[in-house]
Amino acid sequence: MNTASTPKTTGPDIAGQIAYAMRSMGVSPIPRNYSLFYEAYIGSNPALTKDLAALGNRVTQEDLDELSSRYGEGNPARSIDDAHEKLRRELEGLLGTLRREQSSIENYNRILGETRQRIDDKNAASSNILRNAILLLAEATGSKIIDGEKAFNDVNRHAEEMHQVRLELDEYKRIANTDSLTRLSNRRAFDDRLASVYDSSIGLQYTTLVLLDIDHFKRINDTFGHPVGDKILATVASVIRANVRKDGFVARSGGEEFAIILDGNTPEEVMVMCERIRLSLESTPFRNSRSGADYGTVTISLGFASAAQAANPSELYGHADTALYHAKETGRNRSVYYEDGMQKNYTGKNWLIYRT
């Protein structure tokens, strides 16, 4: 689609036009690409519109990233926020117009009432003058009602557009925060969720961070190859998700490590959940359905800590990581709850040994 010939509009279908244009050109629906196309469509940056159109229908992600760097000041998320803010300001302006029109209608209603009162008080007034006055007021009031209805309809149209764009942005955010292999939340989403744990001091004793790590995962990759390793990661993710209640936060925090954040559970209840996950995975067969190859038993080690045991997100992560270290050090395939003094028991061995 030639964006240079696209009408510069903020009508209700702009989000659909942008989505269609991106799909037809094979452009990935990620935030920075949507931001570029939005700016091109509304015509706020003619140079960008021209350069995007010049790319034709064979657009590469490298080409789009170069335009993002050139016109988006290296911050595609900010560009999307700016586009969203433009729509918000436009909607607020329309709401202001509607309020003013409603006020005008109320004023005309008041004038009509006063005029009727004066007519009642002046019985000697000519019927012709009265008729003309009433016609004039009716016409003026009718025009104001029409203007008010138009403003109201404009607000509705732009509200629908705002809703559509918000849905698009929510979807892009979901994609940006999802691990493509396991379909769990990714490290970015995990960092945000962990940072929010201490937004309130209420209930910290019932908020828990659990870290899970696949035992000997490097050996699995070296023996069977990374494609098999990826399938095992996806299976482990499914087992974890199936054994955590729906409101629990589950993420792939990196490599073969996963994380769970739970609210409203005692350490004893979290230990029961950890053991349920561990035993469920231990009993899960890992075989190739086509070749029949058996990849053996896959196990995980788990460490967890209560938010009340730490002063901030970094310390909480450190405590859970320490508990995970102890689970690895004491034989793997175990669940360990962090206790004060655990760090003092480190043997000095390289932690990387226990992360493989």
Residues 6+ apart with CB under 8 A from 254: 187
How far is residue 304 from each of residues 193, 269, 352, measured CA to CA in Å? 16, 12, 19
Domains along the sequence of the chain with CATH? 1-176 (no CATH), 187-354 (3.30.70.270)
The per-residue pLDDT for range 231-268, each reduced to its tens digit, is: 999 999 999 999 999 999 999 999 999 999 999 999 99
How far is residue 234 from each of residues 227, 258, 286, measured CA to CA in Å? 11, 11, 12
Where does the pLDDT of residue 230 fall: very low under 50, low under 70, confident under 90, or very high at 90 and above? very high
Where does the pLDDT of residue 149 fall: very low under 50, low under 70, confident under 90, or very high at 90 and above? low
Where does the pLDDT of residue 152 fall: very low under 50, low under 70, confident under 90, or very high at 90 and above? low
Tokens of 78: 């900010």
CB half-sphere exposure, 259, CA atoms < 13 A: 25
Q: What is the pTM of this model?
A: 0.55
Residue written as token pair 């995980």: 300
Where does the pLDDT of residue 11 fall: very low under 50, low under 70, confident under 90, or very high at 90 and above? very low
Distance CA 60, CA 335 (A): 47
Handedness of CA 3, 4, 5, 7 (dihedral sign): positive
